[in-house]
Amino acid sequence: EVQLVESGGGLVQPGGSLRLSCAASGFTFSGYWIHWVRQAPGKGPLWVSRLNEDGSYTSHADSVKGRFTISRDNAKNTLYLQMNSLRAEDTAVYYCVRGTVGAPGLDYWGQGTLVTVSS
């Protein structure tokens, strides 16, 4: 069974940093693109970042470019999101999502971890 379990969320002050983790199991982690998607309370999802199978290619949404960094450790089957210079508008549930094989897309979603940016 494919499982994606996010952790590392919590309350952080504006301007602060946080690192999210996503532990993957039930599939060959090193064979898939992985994405972060966030959803602010009462809003629709927003795609944040993606990373290819070996970590050599990344892309980020314009709203987080230069502040967030996506990375992975295939030996540990774990995805990371380093978030710096956090703003109130970054408050959201952050989901780890597996990429669809062979075409841009998303298939399995984690249950998410809540990040709250507030003083």
Partner 1 sequence: QTVVTQEPSLTVSPGGTVTLTCASSTGAVTSDYYPNWFQQKPGQAPRALIYSTSNKHSWTPARFSGSLLGGKAALTLSRVQPEDEAEYYCLLDCGGGQLVFGGGTKLTVL
Q: Does 110 help bind partner 1 (rule: CB under 8 A)?
A: yes
75, 62 Cβ separation under 8 angstroms: no
Tell me the backbone φ, ψ of residue 29, rounded to 5 degrees: -55, -40
112, 22 Cβ separation under 8 angstroms: no
With contacts defined by CB under 8 A, name the span among 8-16, 22-30, 74-82, 102-110 that binds partner 1.
102-110
Question: What's the rounded Cα separation, in Å, for the pair 54 and 73?
Answer: 9
With contacts defined by CB under 8 A, name the span among 14-22, 66-74, 79-87, 100-108 that binds partner 1.
100-108
- Residue with smaller CB distance to partner 1, 60 or 72: 60
Q: Does 28 help bind partner 1 (rule: CB under 8 A)?
A: no
- Residue with smaller CB distance to partner 1, 16 or 26: 26
Contacts of 89 (CB under 8 A, 6+ apart): 40, 63, 117
Question: What's the rounded Cα separation, in Å, for the pair 15 and 53?
Answer: 31
Binding mask 31-70 for partner 1 (x = CB under 8 A): ----x-x------xxxx--x--------xxxx--------
Tell me the backbone φ, ψ of residue 28, rounded to 5 degrees: -80, 95
**Using CB under 8 A, which of 15, 100, 114, 118 touches partner 1?**
100
Binding site for partner 1 (CB under 8 A): 35, 37, 44-47, 50, 59-62, 95, 100, 103-112
